[in-house]
Amino acid sequence: MMATNGASTASVALPARVVSLLACPACGGKLLLDMEGFRCAESKCGQTFPIVNGIPILIDPNSSLFTFDDYLADFRADLHDIHRDAAYAECLNPNSYASSPRLARELLALGSAGIVYPSVRRASGTCLVCFRPALVTHVRQGGSVTFTFCDPSSPPLIS
């Protein structure tokens, strides 16, 4: 898609409706599209954001540190295991969450404690959803990963 504002513009691989909802990550101002990418329309801000391979990189360089804390817990329950069950293949679609909430509602209504399923993002990973908070015990902090985005066109530093 090519948005226009009277001059040549960068190319954005997002629907126009999505582009119209984008806002400056620094101040929340309206974003204007030009040849370089997006530019904040707020005169006090004016930050620019590149478009890489059609994707706007909307990262505030003054607030570009993200930390993910991992938590561990024990579960004491019989869970529905949907590994290797073709009936639930659509629930494991990495591009859609349309089917999985329906399965969760159905199992919850049947009294299920939760679901064990293969990760769709990590080949050897296993995921778990527990419907009953009382079955989650011994919660503790695991590892922590920090992503620092120094330059919008480069991968983040991970520590």
Q: What does the binding site for Zn ion look like in residue numbers (CB under 5 A)? A: 24, 26-27, 29, 40, 42, 45
What does DSSP assign to residue 84? T
Smallest separation (angstroms) from Zn ion to the CB of 11:
22
Nearer to Zn ion, 60 or 131 (CB): 60
Distance CA 38, CA 143 (A): 36
Smallest separation (angstroms) from Zn ion to the CB of 22:
11
Nearer to Zn ion, 29 or 114 (CB): 29
Nearer to Zn ion, 25 or 114 (CB): 25
Q: Which helix (H) or strand (E) holds 19?
A: helix 16-21
Do the strands 114-118 and 80-81 form a parallel or antiparallel pair, or are they unpaired?
Answer: parallel
Smallest separation (angstroms) from Zn ion to the CB of 84:
49
Reading the block at residue 129, the tokens are 């959803």
Distance CA 93, CA 120 (A): 7
Residue 21's closest CA among 12, 9, 13, 30? 30
Nearer to Zn ion, 22 or 135 (CB): 22
Residue with tokens 């908070």: 133
Smallest separation (angstroms) from Zn ion to the CB of 26:
4
